[in-house]
Amino acid sequence: MTTPAQPIHPPLNREATLRLIRLGLAEDFAHGTDATSQAAIDEDAVLTAQVVPRQAGTVAGLDVLGWTMHEISPAVDVSVHAADGDQVTAGGCLATVSGPARAILSAERTALNLLTYASGIATGTYAWTKVLSGTRARVRDSRKTLPGYRDLAKYAVRCGGGVNHRMSLGDAVLIKDNHVASVGSAAGAYRRATKTFPDLPIEVEVDDLAQLTEVLALKPNLVMLDNFGVEDTREAVVRRDALSPATLLESSGGLSLNRARAYADTGVDFLAVGALTHSVTILDIGLDALP
């Protein structure tokens, strides 16, 4: 395992994650007690188990282990042996859990559901990060997240080396095609946004090079190039460098990992990839009891 040089920032939001944990536990206890554990295991039985990845990947969300276990019983001890953002190998030990057996087994599924989900996002993001290495481009997520999961999902993107887009509708302005259609032009929508929210970051989406040229005259913070091909993206960078060098460019729409480098080599600053959080393949991680 290779530990990151510094902790992931911002850290995982504890309160937002606890809401998810409590929701998961409420579903598991919706029809009463953990019948299997209560029937099969003595009340005073203790258990020691290891949290083990079944495959290589990038781990994220290790705090959910302790937070989930302690929702069931504060007597459970969780010792974490890795750090979020680590590249882990199959068969290693991420954490050791020990304490009341019933509590550990009752909390197991909720804890692993969240850990494998976050680690899957981090693993997928890291694949993009590796492909973009050596370019100026960074991979960014979107708001395409399940309700309640946004903070955990976006934290996992950071663990994989990605960059977060806005967290909500209120921390930045993103003028998209439907906003433009309502106003009449991308430039007009941008002017209105700068007057209404002068202190917020403002990004405007454009559909073609003509629209880009019109918008660049306004020296925007950030422009999203929606469904541009590689050659048009390269031309967009040329125009940006000539007309508004401080403007950042973000490629968006239908991007795939096998074409990521071609886009990055054009000189864009970001690749927006909604699939980081809306098409997640979990990282398989299990809880293995020790004899």
Determine the angle formed by the axes of helices 14-28 and 150-159, rounding to 10 degrees.
Answer: 120
Q: Contact, 120 vs 263, CB < 8 A? A: no
Which residue of the set 138, 143, 176, 259 is catalytic? 176
State how far the Cα of 177 lies from the Cα of 204, in Å rounded to an integer: 9
Q: Which residue has the tokens 């071609």?
A: 262
226 among known catalytic residues: yes
Q: What are phi and psi of 63, to 5 degrees?
A: -60, -25
176 among known catalytic residues: yes
86 among known catalytic residues: no
Which residue of the set 205, 240, 250, 269 is catalytic? 205
> Closest Cα to residue 211, out of 187, 182, 189?
187
- Mention every residue, 6+ apart, whose C-beta is less than 8 A from residue 135: 261, 264, 265
Which residue of the set 71, 108, 226, 250 is catalytic? 226
Which residue of the set 144, 192, 234, 259 is catalytic? 144
Ramachandran region, residue 158 (left: φ > 0; alpha: ψ -120 to 50; beta: rest): alpha
Radius of gyration of the chain from its Cα atoms, rounded to whole angstroms: 23
Q: Which residues are catalytic?
A: 109, 144, 176, 205, 226
